[in-house]
Amino acid sequence: MTPQFLIIDADDTLWENNIYFERAFDEFVEFLDHSTLAAPEIRAVLDAIEEANARVHGYGTLNFGRNLRQTYERLAERDVRPEDLETVMGFAERILECPMETIAGVPETLAYLAARHDLTLFTKGHPDEQTLKIGRSGLGEYFRHTAIVKEKDAAAYRRLVAERGMDPARTWMIGNSPKSDINPALAAGLHAVFVPHAHTWVLEKQEIAEADGRLLVVDRFEDLHKHF
């Protein structure tokens, strides 16, 4: 096929990410030990705090730690001690120590795609943290360009396309997040490939917009072999 411009998400598309945040949340719920609130109710409080803070602080592990701390300060039924806050922050900080777990079939599929198309890695979060993960993953060699932004909205996609000289008619965004990968790419006039992930962060879930034939849905990342 004619060479395409493939923009590819990182977290929960190329490697596991949200499962480590879920484990940290489970540890947090156990430590909080609330007398009346169950985990879903505690999660609702955390989600509201995260949604508000993301607009100011962005994403990443340390910001998640800040959000956990604020949730603890709001919900704790005992005096909030400095050592308790350190424990809560520790749940988040340990995420940085988790091993990289590449999703099945990703390296082979990237090697296949890189030989045929122009690949750009497009991720959001703290630049240092995302750069570290890319390096640890060993997948950076497959990409001609890497971009790390605070938020992946339609304007960010338009800037990326303009800066890289991409032809929108031959440009595809590939990822697991309707909110950050699929809908804003479609809004920017691009094509999109939705790769569902069982543990996509709840704040990244949205109803996928009308696509006018510009949307492809695959079961797993390695299915991209069949289409590109």
> Splitting the chain (228 residues) into consecutive groups of 10 residues, what average pLDDT does each group show?
95 95 96 96 96 84 93 96 96 90 97 98 93 94 96 97 96 97 97 96 89 93 96
DSSP H helices, 173-216, are 183-187
Q: 193-225 in b/e burial notation, b at 16+ Cβ within 10 A?
A: bbbebeebbeebeeeebebeebbbebeebbebe
CATH number of 18-97: 1.10.150
CB 53 within 8 A of CB 67: yes
What is the model's pLDDT at position 62? 86
What is the model's pLDDT at position 1? 79
User: Does 18-97 match 5-15+102-226 at the fold level?
Assistant: no
What is the model's pLDDT at position 48? 95
Class of 5-15+102-226 in CATH: alpha beta
What is the model's pLDDT at position 149? 94
What is the model's pLDDT at position 140? 95
Distance separating alpha carbons of residues 109 and 35, to the nearest angstrom? 48
Distance separating alpha carbons of residues 88 and 68, to the nearest angstrom? 7
Q: What is the pTM of this model?
A: 0.91
What is the model's pLDDT at position 98? 86
Residue 179 is given by DSSP the state I
What is the model's pLDDT at position 159? 97
Where do the structural domains in the chain lie, given as residue ranges?
5-15+102-226, 18-97
Q: 45-68 in b/e burial notation, b at 16+ Cβ within 10 A?
A: ebeebbeebbeebebbbbbbbbbb
